[in-house]
Amino acid sequence: MKIELEDVRHVYAAGTTFEVAALRGVSLAVEPGEVLAVVGGTGSGKTTLVRHLNLLLEPTSGRVLVDGEDARVLRRSELRGRIGLVFQSPEEALFAPNVFEDVAFGPRRMGVGEEEVEKRVQDTLQRLGVAHLADRSPFALSGGEKRRVAIAGVLAMHPEVLVLDEPTAGLDPATRGELLDVVCGVRDEGGTVVIVSHDLDEVAEVADRVCVLECGEVRAFGRAADVFYAEPRYAPATVRTAALVARDYPGVGRPVSFRETLAALRGVLGRETT
């Protein structure tokens, strides 16, 4: 599925003294099968942007297209099933008496048969490493566990596009890594992922393309390496290091991920260092 935003503006509280133009003419496309990261400072419009992808928020002006068709003509329930959105701090939305029921809610509402629901719930809980929690109350879980259950609830709907708003904020580094593995897994199976993050180091590990927002406008958009090397303010530690080393040793190239960067720096130091 391809999603396009066409000159999307979004104004909150229009006509009042607190009017905020959160998006000021954003155009971009989410290509099928890619991991697209949305980065930018506090209040730059990231959450507002990703909530437009399934029309949870509607543009004040401009259009959202799904496979070339105006998203407004599609049924909202269908749209929300095909484009699964995991909120910032999703654990606040957990509500069912136990984890199983919570994750089953989405697929059931989509009309999936009970047998299939059961299978999906078990599979997704397994995939997120929380199968052992199925019977527990979602309220009595740790922060990291709640986060995984909330993500499982969206994944169980088998969305074509998975949208994650700061999915790793507040997680311990090991849990964060496991969650990023899940993201890569979804992509490897042909799914599309849009991830909002303020952790550029993690963006460097997962993103194919990066969109930088500043005050509601797209400041940069493109392949991760192109964006990071052009915008040092939004570059992860790997890129910032390599860019500095490249001044004297251009052979270091333009690595982005940790592995690429380590290999490139080793190259500069010669093979004797391991």
Partner 1 sequence: MGPNGGGKSTLARLSNGLLHADSGRVRVAGLDPAREPYLVRRRVGILFQNPDSGLVAPFVEDDVAFGLENLGAPREEMRERVAEAIRAVGLSGYERREPHTLSGGEKQRVALAGLLAVGPEVLVLDEPTSMLDAAGRREVLERVHALRGNRTVLHLTHHLEEVLDADRVLVLNAGRLVADVAPEWLVSDATLLRENRLVLPTVSRLALGLGLPPAKPRTPEELAAAVGERAERRVGRR
Ligand X SMILES: Nc1ncnc2c1ncn2[C@@H]1O[C@H](COP(=O)(O)OP(=O)(O)OP(=O)(O)O)[C@@H](O)[C@H]1O
By the criterion CB under 5 A, which residues form the site for Mg ion?
46-47, 88
Minimum distance, C-beta of residue 18 to ligand X, in the bound complex (Å): 6
Which residue among 2, 9, 20, 246 contacts ligand X (CB under 6 A)?
A: 20
Residue located via tokens 């066409």: 6
198 binds partner 1 (CB under 8 A): yes
Contacts of 168 (CB under 8 A, 6+ apart): 175, 176, 179, 180, 197, 199, 202
Q: How far is CA 144 from CA 16, 103, 164, 190, 241, in A?
A: 39, 16, 15, 26, 31
Binding track over 50-89 against ligand X, x by CB under 6 A: --------------------------------------x-
The alpha carbon dihedral of 95, 101, 102, 104 has a sign of negative
Distance CA 152, CA 167 (A): 12
Please report whether residue 237 would count as binding partner 1 according to CB under 8 A: yes
> Judged by CB under 8 A, does residue 166 bind partner 1?
yes
* Binds partner 1 by CB under 8 A, chosen from 113, 135, 201, 230: 201
Q: Which of residues 43 and 97 has its CB atom nearest to Mg ion in the complex?
A: 43
The reply on whether position 90 binds ligand X by CB under 6 A is: no
In a 13 Å sphere around the CA of 244, the CA atoms on its Cβ side amount to: 6
Q: Which residues bind ligand X (CB under 6 A)?
A: 12-13, 20, 22, 40, 42-48, 88
